[in-house]
Amino acid sequence: MLTLLIGLLAGLSYSFGISSICRGKYQPSIYSRVVWLLIAVNCFIGVLALNNSPGTLILTGISVIGSLVMLISALKYSVHIFGVTEIICTILLVISILLWILLDSPLINVILGLTAHFIGGIPSIMRAIKKADSENILFWFFFAVASILALFQADKTHVDKFIFSLYHVIFDGGMTLIVARQYLKYIKIRFSKDV
């Protein structure tokens, strides 16, 4: 039951991201979406090899499917920019794959994949800090909640069993808090009117 809830929340997250692209509220670079899809596939394979919990597997699986649909949406509605972030993420992805082949270490693969994800997310973090309403809070919120549930379900005796979920609790939870700042002004306005 918990695994299904994790899948539902992760799917909801991506539905809001896809909706934002289709409504023109979010215009990611197509190249970024390609890199993020490859990072998602890379992490899914690593998590699968590490025999993670069903919740973590469904979380990474939805991440792959959601990233693919977001890429397809981006083909029509987004921009074509290949910048420094995409170059760094691509290099990390290639290093991750090479290290996996040479060392047969899925944990190193997942860690490098999450590092690439974080670097790829820096423009989103900076954009949200400058303009909180540039991001869809529900996209970040639902994935953060799904990650919390996956972390709860995961075996916490070995870092390789919970690192993916923990990273997304921190990253997506942090993005949720950054984006939530836009609602503080409405609370202040409402409070001042009531007083």
| Separation CA 75–CA 10 (nearest Å) | 22
Count of structural domains within the chain: 1
Torsion, Cα 91 60 111 27, to 10 degrees, reads: 40
Torsion, Cα 78 79 82 84, to 10 degrees, reads: -90
pTM for the predicted model, two decimal places: 0.85
195 pLDDT more than 60: no
pLDDT tier at 188 (50, 70, 90 boundaries)? low
**Domain that residue 140 falls in:** 2-194
pLDDT of residue 95: 86
Amino acid at 63: S
167 pLDDT more than 90: yes
